[in-house]
Amino acid sequence: MTGRLTGRKIVITGAGSGIGRESARIFAREGATLALLDRDRDAAQVTADETGGHVFAVDVTDEAQVKSVIDEAGAALNGIDGLLNSAGILTMKTIDDIDVAEFRRVVDVNLTGTFLVCQAALPWLRQSPTAAIVNIASAQALLPSLLGSAYAASKAAVMMFSKSIAKELAPAVRVNVICPGATETPMTDQGVAPDDVEGRKALAANYAMKRLCQPAEIANGILFLMSQDASAITGVALAIDNGRTFH
């Protein structure tokens, strides 16, 4: 590790599992101090035990709760230099199968939650000379599959929201978005179970590299965008997807 985040104070949502947890591990090894937010406090605590981060339970769809927790996190860290929005949920239902309540829930968590956390963190981020936001969209935002129209729509909205606020907040805050392909996380396991060998093979066949991503591969891309190595980069949607969307 190179200390690329030494002294930086970073808030991570969805820190209790998957990409959020792996990012926390890498950020901590690179010298960051962390606030770990998750709806599941116990899951976030596991991450905290590995990284030394501060734990906060939050429902990202609850405006008042988000504002309160972000302010608590900012006070605990004595500032916020970076924000990673990794909280999200998945549905693989088609338009024929999904009902309006579930559609709204997917959009509320994935899009509105990202908006609420970004908005709440802005007063803190604007006090940092090197402020950066990284939001997690999906390769589905670039090239949707035959399932999960609600998920794809919500993540495409996260991508364009991120690009829009990159323009609005420049030059004070850099904003970028990661578009991961299928990754070895609990979210992917919801769609195709780990013991479904044939299903996993069929999923991997959609990718040029013929495999799923590892969480660390996504987290390393996030690390780059969060660090000052990416000081001239804002408004970028970076696909890390083993070649699913380039062709």
List the Cα angle 188/104/161 in 5-degree steps: 75
Residue 152 phi, psi (nearest 5)? -60, -45
Contact between residue 12 and residue 35 where contact means Cβ atoms under 8 Å apart? yes
Question: Is residue 143 classed exposed, middle or buried when 0-12, 13-18 and 19+ CB atoms within 10 A define those classes?
Answer: middle
- Report d(CA 209, CA 18) in Å as an integer: 21
Phi/psi-derived region of residue 64, left when phi > 0, alpha when psi is between -120 and 50, beta in every other case: alpha
- Report d(CA 49, CA 117) in Å as an integer: 24
- Report d(CA 30, CA 7) in Å as an integer: 9
- Report d(CA 81, CA 5) in Å as an integer: 10
10's enclosing H/E stretch is strand 9-13
Catalytic residue ranges: 151
Structure tokens of 203?
A: 């999923």
- Report d(CA 219, CA 101) in Å as an integer: 32
Structure tokens of 243?
A: 């070649």
Instruction: Please tell me the number of Cα atoms within 13 Å of 148 on its side-chain side.
Output: 20
